[in-house]
């Protein structure tokens, strides 16, 4: 499988993605992943990377869009690949990058009342244990009757 990386302007992202998907000589029918990248202190600070696959031609393509810290937003590609829906929501959840035109740009993994963007390089590093109680109303701490499992010692030997 061959790998390529291309940097594209945000304003042409949807047009380029549609072309890559629809052109039979390219046939990038699959969006495998979307991820944010924080290059602090570089300017522009952020990138959104899209992992595309052409199984027909055995080619992987990474598209990168560079975006400024002042306006961390790119167009949504959910109209090109519906699988972008959750990928874009996850990137929004952790980096705060807005996907313009996304049908439901809400947090997907963190609680709705979470403050900040934990994968940004300037996110606070202090450790604070958070009690998640969404599925157990009224419980704010682990049940003391629950025991932690001790790791089992395993010995490996060469064959």
Does residue 21 form part of some domain? yes
**pLDDT confidence tier of residue 1, bands split at 50, 70 and 90:** confident
pLDDT value at 131 more than 90: no
CATH number of the structural domain spanning residue 55? 3.30.460.80
Range of the domain at 18: 2-100
Q: What is the 3-state secondary structure (H, E, C) of 26-76?
A: CCCCEEEEEEEEECCCCCCCEEEEEEEEECCCCEEEEEEEEECCCCCEEEC
Q: Tally the domains of the chain.
A: 1
Cα–Cα dist 95/109, whole Å: 12
Kindly report, residue by residue over 39-82, the tens digit of the pLDDT: 998 999 999 999 999 999 999 999 999 999 999 999 999 999 99
What pTM does this model have? 0.78
Is 91 a member of any domain? yes
């Amino acid at each position: 499988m061959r790998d390529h990386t291309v940097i594209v302007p945000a304003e042409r992202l949807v047009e380029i993605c549609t072309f890559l998907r629809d052109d039979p000589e390219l046939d990038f029918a699959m969006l495998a992943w979307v991820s944010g990248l924080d290059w602090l202190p570089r300017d522009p600070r952020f990138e959104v990377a899209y992992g595309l696959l052409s199984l027909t031609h055995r080619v992987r393509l990474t598209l990168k869009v560079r975006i400024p810290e002042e306006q961390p937003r790119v167009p949504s590609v959910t109209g090109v690949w519906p699988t972008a829906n959750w990928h874009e929501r996850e990137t929004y959840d952790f980096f705060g990058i807005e996907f313009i035109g996304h049908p439901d740009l809400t947090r997907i993994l963190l609680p709705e009342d979470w403050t900040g963007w934990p994968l940004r390089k300037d996110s606070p590093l202090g450790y604070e244990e958070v009690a998640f109680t969404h599925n157990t109303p009224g419980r704010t701490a682990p049940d003391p009757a629950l025991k932690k499992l001790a790791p089992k010692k395993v010995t490996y030997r060469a064959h």
